[in-house]
Amino acid sequence: MAVKKKSSAGAKAKTVSVYLNADELQERRPVLLFTAGQIDEVLTEAEIQAVPFASEYLLGLCAWREQVLPIIDLVRFFGLSSSGKDVGERYLVVRTVDSLSPGNAENIHSEKVLLRCVLKVSDQIINGDIPADCEAVYPKQAGFPPIFVRGLFRREKELFILPDIAAIIHSNSLGGAE
Amino acid sequence: MKKVCLVKGGNFVLGIEARYILSRRHKMLPHETAGKEREIFHLGSLLARKHCEHPEPGSVFLQLHKGKNTFFLLVDQVIDEIELPEQTTRLPPPSPELAEQLCPQVAVCMNLVVLLLDPAQVIPVARQLGQGIGVLAPEHWAQPPVPVDSAARQPAKGTKNGPGTAVPNRLIRKNKKRPKSVDEETFKRVMAWTIAQFKQGKVGTEHLAADQLPPGLVQQEGVSDTVIQYLIDQISLRCQESITPTRPGEQHGG
C-alpha cells in the first residue's frame, strides 16, 4: 500500500528527509536525504523473501511492479545502533543511476543503468529543502565509509546522510560496508 | 509456463522446477537405496550454514536430477506446486555470491518473489561450505537393515508372512544369524513340507522358499518368513547330507 508524501514546503520541495530507526549519533538523529525524484513509492508493508547466505543488512527481496528488488536496512548497513523501539516503519522504493557497476567501469561510454532498491526506514518522511544552517562533515569523522556516502551534514539535532544507493547496491563487489 | 515446487528449508522458501524432481518420499530411505547414496543433503541446514541436528517432522526427501547429478535433498516441507512464467531474472545485487550460485534465477508470481534452486549447484555449494554443512547424518535418512531377531518379533498382520515379507529373500539368506525358534507344531509342519518337497527333487532356495509354503500351513503368530526360511534351509541341508556319502576321514560336524 502506498503512502502519500507529506509536503511541508509546497511545490518547491526538492529533498525528502527520511528518519532512520536508529539511536542518536553524535547526539543527532540520523536522517537520510534524497531528492524527491529518487523516491518512486513509499510502502507501508512488504512481502519479504529471505535470501540465503545474505548479510544481515539485506533483509530479502520483494516484488514491486513485477520487478524483483532487494530490501536493505541502512541502519545495519552503516552499523548504526538501534534501541529496537517499536516504532513505525516504512519501505522506501528508491531509484538511482548505476555508474559504479564493474561491467561499466571499463567503458565510460556505456549506457547508464537505472537501479532500484527498497530501504527499510521509519515512518517519519518529510518533504522539504535541506536547511541552510547545515555544516558538512567528513564521513569518516562520523564513522561512515566514504564510498557509500555522497555527503554528510549536521545540524543541531540531525545528522543528514546522502547515501550512495548505487554503491550500496553493489557493496558486495566494492568490498562491503565494513 | 513452468511447473515449480515451492519447498521450505529452515527460514527460506525456494522453488524447484518439477522437471528436476524424480521422486518424493516422506519416510526414511530404505536400506537398499541408502546403501547406494554416499550423502544426502539437507536444505535447511545448507541455507543456514549449520549442521543438521534433527530434521523437522514431516520432512520430505526429494530425489533431484540435473546434468550428471542425481541425489536426495531433504526439505522441511513441500508447500505447493505453482506455475511460473518462463521469464526469469537474475538474483539482484547485493545478493551474496553463494546465493547467486545456488539460486541464480528469480521469478515473480502473484507479487511474490520465488528464488529458483539450481539442483546442479547443491553439491558444489555444500562442498564450498565444507565441514559437513548441509549434509545429513545417516541416522536421519537411512532405515537400519531389518535385523532377523527383530523381524521375528514383529507380529503378523493378516497374512502368515507379516512385515518381514518386505525384506528381499536374498538379504534374508545372507544373514547367518540364528533366528528366534518356532513352536513345535510349526516346526513339524515346515519339516514335513520341506522333506516332501525334497523327495520330489526340489532343492535350493528357488524351490524351497518360505513364500512357497501353502497358505495356512504356518499358524504360529509373530513368526516371519526369515525364521521359516532359516528352518527350511536347515532341514534341506540335513536332507542333502543324509543322501551324500561321507568320505573316509571326514567327520560330520552336525
pLDDT digits (tens, 9 = 90+) for B169-217: 443 344 444 446 677 778 888 888 888 887 777 776 666 777 777 777 7
Q: B9-44: per-residue pLDDT in tens?
A: 999 999 999 999 999 988 777 766 666 667 889 999
Instruction: Give the one of A58, A63, A170 whose C-beta lies nearest to B111's C-beta.
Output: A63
ipTM of the modeled complex: 0.82
For A49, the closest chain B residue by CA position comes to B113
Cβ neighbours of residue A95 under 8 Å, at least 6 residues apart?
Answer: A38, A39, A40, A114, A115, A116, A165
Instruction: List the single best residue of A58, A66, A67, A68 to mutate versus B (max B Cβ within 10 A).
Output: A68
Residue numbers in A near B115 (CB within 8 A) = 49, 51-52, 61
The separation between CA B172 and the C-alpha centre of its own chain, rounded to angstroms, equals 16
CA–CA distance, B247 with B245 (Å, rounded to integer): 6
Which residues are CB-contacts of B141 (< 8 A; sequence separation ≥ 6)? B28, B29, B34, B37, B40, B61, B72, B74
Domain boundaries, chain B: 2-140, 148-243
Tell me how far apart the alpha carbons of residues B234 and B227 are, in angstroms, rounded to a whole number: 11
Interface contact flag, A70 B95, Cβ < 8 Å: yes
Q: Give the minimum alpha-carbon distance from A4 to chain B in angstroms, rounded to a whole number.
A: 21
Element (H or E) spanning A163, and its range? Answer: strand A158-163
Check CB contact under 8 Å for A168 and B94.
yes
Q: Say whether pLDDT at A9 is over 90.
A: no
Q: Phi and psi of B180, rounded to 5°?
A: -65, 145
The pLDDT value given to residue B16: 97
Residue scoring higher pLDDT (B149 or A114) = A114
Domains (ranges, CATH) in chain A?
Answer: 10-169 (2.40.50.180)
Identify the residue whose cell numbers are 549434509: B135
Q: CB–CB of B92 and A66 under 8 A?
A: no
Out of A68, A171, A172, name the one closest to residue B108 (CB). A68
pLDDT at B248 over 60: no
CB contact under 8 Å between B93 and A70, yes or no, is yes
Nearest CA distance, A31 vs chain B (angstrom): 23
Nearest to A119 by CA among A41, A67, A175: A41
B131-163: buried (b, 16+ CB within 10 Å) or exposed (e) per residue?
A: eebbbbeeeebbeeebebeebbeeebeeebbbb
**Is the full-model pTM beyond 0.80?**
no
Chain B positions touching A66 (Cβ under 8 A) are 108
Among B168, B144, B148, B145, CA closest to B223: B148
Identify which has the larger pLDDT, A27 or A8: A27
Q: Å from B74 to nearest chain A CA? A: 17
Over residues B76-134, the pLDDT tens digits come to 999 999 999 888 999 999 999 999 999 999 999 888 999 999 999 999 999 999 888 99
Cα–Cα distance, A141 to B174 (Å, whole number): 77
Judged on CB neighbours under 10 Å (0-12, 13-18, 19+), A96 is buried
DSSP three-state, residue A124:
coil
Q: Which of A104, A79, A80, A93 is nearest to A173 (CA)?
A: A104
CA distance A115 to chain B (A): 10
Instruction: Please state, in angstroms and rounded to a whole number, the distance separating the CA atoms of residues A142 and A73.
Output: 19
